[in-house]
Structure 1
Amino acid sequence: MSTTPQPTPDAKPARKPPSAASKYLFMFLLGLVIGIVALVMLMRTLESRKTWRDHYPHALMHLLSAQAAQLQDNAGANRCSPTDTLPHLQSLRSLGNDFERAFPELRDDRNFVAHSAKFRGTLDAALAAPPLGCEGVEQAVSQVGEACKACHQDFR
């Protein structure tokens, strides 16, 4: 007589072997992470060599645009006292000193030098006699905008 073991009610069922899909998912995720890290490292290397793109000229233009927009917003909000406008005019003038550094390939171009000098001259005049009302602020913003537009027409 042969006795086969009878399962007891407390016995646990046999475990299934792990699926191959979980191994493939793990390898896929690992490859994805390694690929992303390698891509970021490659992009940083290219950017550091300046073969990718120089951000300085674009950043300078964005800062100039932001300062001029803040002046315009102040005029629209009727905040036209010298304490509200002078910091923006001073920032614009300070940023104007960096044109030649931001665009070294245009440093020797007569038109570029003339446009840069006109921009700085416009701001020097506005700083020498600060605008006292919203009309004066709007006029100063308009003159700065004209100086920017003239340069962009020639060099953009």
Structure 2
Amino acid sequence: MRAIILLVIGLAVGAISASYAANTMAARHAYTRGVMAIMQHHVSALGAQAKAGQCPADSSLDHFHRISGAAAEIEPAFAGADPDFFKHAHALADATAATIANAPADCPGLKQAMAKVGETCKSCHELYR
């Protein structure tokens, strides 16, 4: 009887410890996932605007500013990554800066700007995702 009680207590302590370890491991990657999730949200919002044919310049520019801000967070979020990875991150920052400098005023311009920014995202994801 004593052995069964000790076994149950041992299993409970093991399960709790495993839960803490799993949460710690998941939290370690929360920042990187968060940066990518923010960019994905704004890229999706721009895509929805373009698809709906409603591309107000101020709204598009706001999304590109937010993508640019998230792109600036890539280097600290992925500290210790391959140096080539950061070349792709800098290309994304350059593409968004160029888009902000020449903000798209209509849907065709928005689609063209999204294609340029999307290409930089795609080039990195093909190698590192």
TM-score (normalizing by structure 2): 0.79
Alignment of 1:6-155 (within 5 A): 43=19, 45-46=20-21, 50-52=24-26, 53-106=28-81, 109-155=82-128
Task: Report the alpha carbon displacement of residue 51 of structure 1 after superposing the two structures with TM.
Answer: 3.1
Task: Report the alpha carbon displacement of residue 47 of structure 1 after superposing the two structures with TM.
Answer: 5.4
Alignment RMSD: 2.2
Q: Which structure shows the higher helix fraction? A: 2
C-alpha spacing 1:47/1:56, structure 2 compared with 1 (3 Å): farther
Task: Report the alpha carbon displacement of residue 141 of structure 1 after superposing the two structures with TM.
Answer: 1.1
Task: Determine which structure has more spread, i.e. the larger CA radius of gyration.
Answer: 1
What stretches of structure 1 of length at least 5 have no aligned partner? 1-34
Q: Which amino acid aligns with 2:117?
A: V
Task: Report the alpha carbon displacement of residue 110 of structure 1 after superposing the two structures with TM.
Answer: 3.1
Partner of 1:17: none
Identity percentage over the alignment?
26
Q: Deviations over 1:17-76 (max 9, x none)?
A: xxxxxxxxxxxxxxxxxx7xx967863x3356x334521111221211111010011111
Partner of 1:104, secondary structure, is: coil
CA distance in 2, matches of 1:102, 1:77: 33
Count residues with an aligned counterpart.
117
Partner of 2:105, secondary structure, is: coil
Tell which has more relative contact order, 1 or 2 (C-alpha 8 A, sep 6+).
Answer: 2
Q: Deviations over 1:107-131 (max 9, x none)?
A: xx33112111110000000100101
CA distance in 2, matches of 1:40, 1:128: 52
TM-score (normalizing by structure 1): 0.66
Q: Runs in 1 of length 4+ with deviation above 4 angstroms?
A: 38-42
CA distance in 2, matches of 1:146, 1:83: 23
